[in-house]
């Protein structure tokens, strides 16, 4: 059977790019190639940029009250096709069906949040800043935005940017991850059906060559990037060379504290979903579990017991809790951390190295793995692993835990499990991370709130998603000061009672 070649989506039509370089898209559960993505050549990228620039001229003049109606229609179409999109996500990414559905639900939520753009686009004004002079501040869209996304949330992450950019009157070019381009490709057809004018949302496929061309283009005014820290830093610098505004979310290493007073029966399922959901390929996943001498043994044994019940498999099969990793190379990379732990004689509680479901021997599977009493200077504590590997540490007191968390170079998220308001409040105020969970394992902000981390997990000033940040990112503020000479003359003819 011929392999599907992933198409670009320009001016509301699919186009096959002819390239001399292709990337394989896998079904990671089967370990089989299911499609190929071209590294789109420069001429076609430039065609997409031109289309977006032309579309901006018209789209920016469409009233915001009308622009959001296209989003309503897209919302309905995505909602009506949620199962098909989620199946596609499972097939290209590996996450289980319910997790894929969660990805789409979060996508919808961001469209919902962007529907409030009529409110956000409101300006400010002062009448009579001087006699018969009024001053207004209005918001205007900026131009074309490029959105460069990672593999782990094929639809949700592009939609941290797309609905807000277009609702505010900008146009966008989405560059999906070359590892998981199929969900976004599917949504192209829904964008067309929603009736968006040509060129408002274009999709261009490829890898770093496409990213570089988008970053170099003077026509592109802003970039939303999500991915690893090294690439986030590169994108931030390179985009700034052509004076673009940038949001760049990077890697993560998140810590969860389980205080001795935590409600364990509630905490354990939360930990399981946080550490091992999405096979650990989540920027909000906790990866280091901090315990205390008083509760360490109990927490670890219950965490290990629950982890050992996790069923691996193909995400569209029944009774599956965890899918594979994205690629064999990534599996090998995650496994190298397990090997490192073993070589360094770190206490291994559960070893997922060879856990491959019988039916899917070629899949990129790795089972939940737990190391205990991990030394603080170990790379298991310092580096992002991005897989189902948990490291447990034991501390003497809360302040020690806080110091460990704050000495990490990353600051994306963190969780505390406790019944104590005192420790919860201190955790929230003193941990240097962008997303804090109190008795919550995945501190994922609603679409209506800004999404971003701190330290090496985030580069820029304004955050992704909705809330107050996005309106600053996607619009420029313009000041209008006006005086009407005719008004002053009329006023002389009919003086007010004050004069």
In whole angstroms, how close is the CB of 28 to ligand NAD at the nearest point?
Answer: 13
In whole angstroms, how close is the CB of 176 to ligand NAD at the nearest point?
Answer: 7
Query: Quick one: which segment of 49-57, 144-152, 312-320, 480-488 binds ligand NAD (CB under 6 A)?
Result: 144-152
Query: Quick one: which segment of 78-86, 120-128, 145-153, 362-370 binds ligand NAD (CB under 6 A)?
Result: 145-153
Should residue 147 be labelled a site residue for ligand NAD when binding is judged by CB under 6 A?
A: no
**What residue has token string 């109606």?**
69
What span, in angstroms and rounded, lies between the C-alpha atoms of 393 and 381? 9
In whole angstroms, how close is the CB of 443 to ligand NAD at the nearest point?
Answer: 12
Should residue 280 be labelled a site residue for ligand NAD when binding is judged by CB under 6 A?
A: no
**Residue 459 tokens, joined:** 């580069």
Should residue 227 be labelled a site residue for ligand NAD when binding is judged by CB under 6 A?
A: yes
Please identify, using beta-carbon distances, which residue of 225 and 360 lies nearer to ligand NAD.
225
By annotation, the residues acting in catalysis are 283
Should residue 393 be labelled a site residue for ligand NAD when binding is judged by CB under 6 A?
A: no
In whole angstroms, how close is the CB of 90 to ligand NAD at the nearest point?
Answer: 17
User: Strand ranges (DSSP E) for 386-491?
Assistant: 389-395, 410-411, 413-417, 435-438, 450-451, 454-455, 458-460, 464-465, 475-483
Should residue 275 be labelled a site residue for ligand NAD when binding is judged by CB under 6 A?
A: no
Please identify, using beta-carbon distances, which residue of 361 and 409 lies nearer to ligand NAD.
409
What span, in angstroms and rounded, lies between the C-alpha atoms of 8 and 234? 25
Should residue 386 be labelled a site residue for ligand NAD when binding is judged by CB under 6 A?
A: yes
Should residue 40 be labelled a site residue for ligand NAD when binding is judged by CB under 6 A?
A: no
Footprint on residues 154-173 left by ligand NAD (CB under 6 A): 157
In whole angstroms, how close is the CB of 434 to ligand NAD at the nearest point?
Answer: 8
Please identify, using beta-carbon distances, which residue of 107 and 149 lies nearer to ligand NAD.
149
Query: Quick one: which segment of 48-56, 63-71, 142-150, 259-267 binds ligand NAD (CB under 6 A)?
Result: 142-150
The whole-angstrom distance between residue 376's C-alpha and the CA centroid of its chain comes to 29
Should residue 123 be labelled a site residue for ligand NAD when binding is judged by CB under 6 A?
A: no
Radius of gyration of the chain (CA): 25
| Residue 254, phi-psi category: left (phi > 0), alpha (psi -120 to 50), beta (remainder) | beta
* DSSP letters for 309-325: TPPB--TTSSS--B---
Q: Strands 4-5 and 32-38: what pairing?
A: parallel
Of 89, 202, 249, 254, the residue at the interface with ligand NAD (CB under 6 A) is 249
What backbone phi and psi angles, to 5 degrees, belong to 308? -70, -15
The answer to whether residues 225 and 247 touch, using CB atoms and an 8 Å cutoff, is yes
In whole angstroms, how close is the CB of 252 to ligand NAD at the nearest point?
Answer: 5
Footprint on residues 174-203 left by ligand NAD (CB under 6 A): 175, 177-178
Q: How many residues bind ligand NAD (CB under 6 A)?
A: 27
Of 152, 168, 286, 291, the residue at the interface with ligand NAD (CB under 6 A) is 152
What backbone phi and psi angles, to 5 degrees, belong to 247? -115, 125
User: Strand ranges (DSSP E) for 377-455?
Assistant: 389-395, 410-411, 413-417, 435-438, 450-451, 454-455
> Which residue, 324, 320, 380, is CA-closest to 355?
324
Should residue 278 be labelled a site residue for ligand NAD when binding is judged by CB under 6 A?
A: no
Query: Quick one: which segment of 36-44, 132-140, 223-231, 367-375 binds ligand NAD (CB under 6 A)?
Result: 223-231
**Residue 85 tokens, joined:** 């999109």
In whole angstroms, how close is the CB of 343 to ligand NAD at the nearest point?
Answer: 24
Should residue 453 be labelled a site residue for ligand NAD when binding is judged by CB under 6 A?
A: yes
The answer to whether residues 386 and 334 touch, using CB atoms and an 8 Å cutoff, is yes
User: Residue 392 carries which DSSP code?
Assistant: E
Please identify, using beta-carbon distances, which residue of 52 and 267 lies nearer to ligand NAD.
52
**What residue has token string 């629950």?**
306
What backbone phi and psi angles, to 5 degrees, belong to 424? -60, -45
Should residue 450 be labelled a site residue for ligand NAD when binding is judged by CB under 6 A?
A: no
- In DSSP terms, 322 is beta-bridged to 312
**Residue 446 tokens, joined:** 């609603």
Of 12, 52, 278, 457, the residue at the interface with ligand NAD (CB under 6 A) is 457
Should residue 208 be labelled a site residue for ligand NAD when binding is judged by CB under 6 A?
A: yes
Should residue 433 be labelled a site residue for ligand NAD when binding is judged by CB under 6 A?
A: no
Which residues lie closer than 8 Å to 497 by C-beta, 6 or more apart? Answer: none
Should residue 207 be labelled a site residue for ligand NAD when binding is judged by CB under 6 A?
A: yes
Should residue 211 be labelled a site residue for ligand NAD when binding is judged by CB under 6 A?
A: yes
* 53-to-7, 48, 141, 146, 169 alpha-carbon distances in Å: 21, 9, 12, 12, 12
The answer to whether residues 121 and 64 touch, using CB atoms and an 8 Å cutoff, is yes
Enumerate binding residues for ligand NAD (CB under 6 A): 148-152, 157, 175, 177-178, 207-208, 211, 226-228, 231, 234, 249-252, 283, 384, 386, 412, 453, 457
């Amino acid at each position: 059977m011929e392999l599907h070649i992933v198409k670009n989506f320009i001016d509301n039509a699919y186009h096959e790019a002819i390239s001399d370089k292709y990337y394989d898209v896998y079904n990671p559960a089967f370990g089989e190639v299911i499609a190929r993505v071209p590294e789109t050549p420069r001429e076609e990228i430039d065609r997409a940029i031109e289309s977006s620039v032309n579309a901006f001229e018209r789209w920016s003049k469409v009233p915001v009250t009308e622009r959001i109606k296209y989003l309503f229609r897209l919302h309905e179409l995505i909602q009506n096709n949620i199962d098909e999109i989620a199946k596609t996500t499972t097939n290209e990414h590996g996450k289980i069906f319910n997790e894929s559905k969660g990805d789409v639900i979060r996508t919808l939520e961001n469209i919902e949040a962007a529907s409030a753009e009529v409110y956000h686009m409101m300006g400010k004004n002062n009448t009579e800043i001087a006699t018969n002079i009024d001053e207004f501040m209005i918001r205007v869209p900026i131009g074309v935005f490029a959105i460069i996304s990672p593999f782990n949330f094929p639809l949700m992450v592009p939609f941290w940017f797309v609905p807000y950019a277009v609702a505010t009157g900008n146009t966008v070019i989405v560059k999906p991850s070359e590892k998981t381009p199929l969900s976004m490709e599917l949504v192209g057809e829904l964008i067309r059906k929603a009736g968006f004018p040509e060129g408002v949302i274009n999709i261009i496929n490829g890898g770093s060559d496409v990213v570089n061309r988008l970053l170099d283009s003077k026509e592109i005014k802003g970039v939303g990037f999500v991915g690893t820290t090294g690439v986030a830093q590169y994108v931030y610098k390179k985009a700034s060379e052509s004076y673009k505004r940038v949001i760049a979310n990077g890697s993560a290493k998140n810590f969860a504290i389980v205080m001795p007073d935590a409600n364990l029966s509630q905490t354990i399922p939360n930990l399981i979903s946080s550490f091992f959901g999405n096979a650990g390929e989540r920027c909000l996943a906790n990866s280091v579990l901090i315990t205390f001498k008083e509760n360490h043994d109990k927490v670890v044994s219950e965490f290990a017991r629950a982890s050992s019940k996790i069923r691996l498999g193909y995400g569209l099969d029944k009774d599956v809790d965890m899918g594979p990793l994205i690629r064999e190379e990534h599996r090998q990379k995650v496994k190298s951390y397990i090997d490192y732990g073993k070589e360094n004689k770190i206490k291994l509680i559960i070893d997922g190295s060879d856990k491959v479901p019988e039916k899917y021997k070629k899949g990129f599977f790795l089972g939940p793995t737990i190391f205990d009493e991990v030394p603080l200077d170990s790379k298991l504590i310092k580096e992002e692993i991005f897989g189902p590997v948990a490291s447990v540490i034991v501390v003497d007191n809360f302040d020690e835990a806080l110091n460990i968390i704050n000495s990490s170079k990353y600051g994306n998220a963190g969780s505390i499990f406790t019944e104590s308001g005192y420790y919860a409040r201190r955790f929230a105020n003193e941990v240097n991370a962008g997303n804090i969970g109190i008795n919550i394992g995945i501190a994922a902000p609603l679409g209506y709130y800004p999404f971003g981390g701190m330290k090496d997990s985030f580069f820029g000033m304004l955050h992704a998603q909705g809330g107050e940040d996005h309106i600053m990112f996607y619009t420029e503020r313009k000041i209008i000061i006006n005086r009407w000479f005719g008004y002053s003359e009329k006023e002389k003819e009919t003086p007010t009672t004050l004069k």
